[in-house]
Amino acid sequence: MAHVLKVKYETQADARICEVPYETQADLCWHEVAYATQASGDGVWFFVTYPDQASFRVFPVKHQSQADLKLFKVHSPEQAGWRTKDHPLRGKLG
Model confidence pLDDT, tens digit, residues 6-16: 999 999 999 99
Given this model, what pLDDT does residue 1 score?
79
DSSP 36-70: GGG-BTTTEEEE-SSGGG-SEEEEE-SSGGG-SEE
Return phi, psi of residue 43, to 5°: -100, -15
Given this model, what pLDDT does residue 94 score?
76
Given this model, what pLDDT does residue 55 score?
94
Model confidence pLDDT, tens digit, residues 48-93: 999 999 999 999 999 999 999 999 999 999 999 999 999 999 999 8
Model confidence pLDDT, tens digit, residues 22-45: 999 999 999 999 999 999 999 999
The span from the CA of 9 to the CA of 81, in Å, is 26
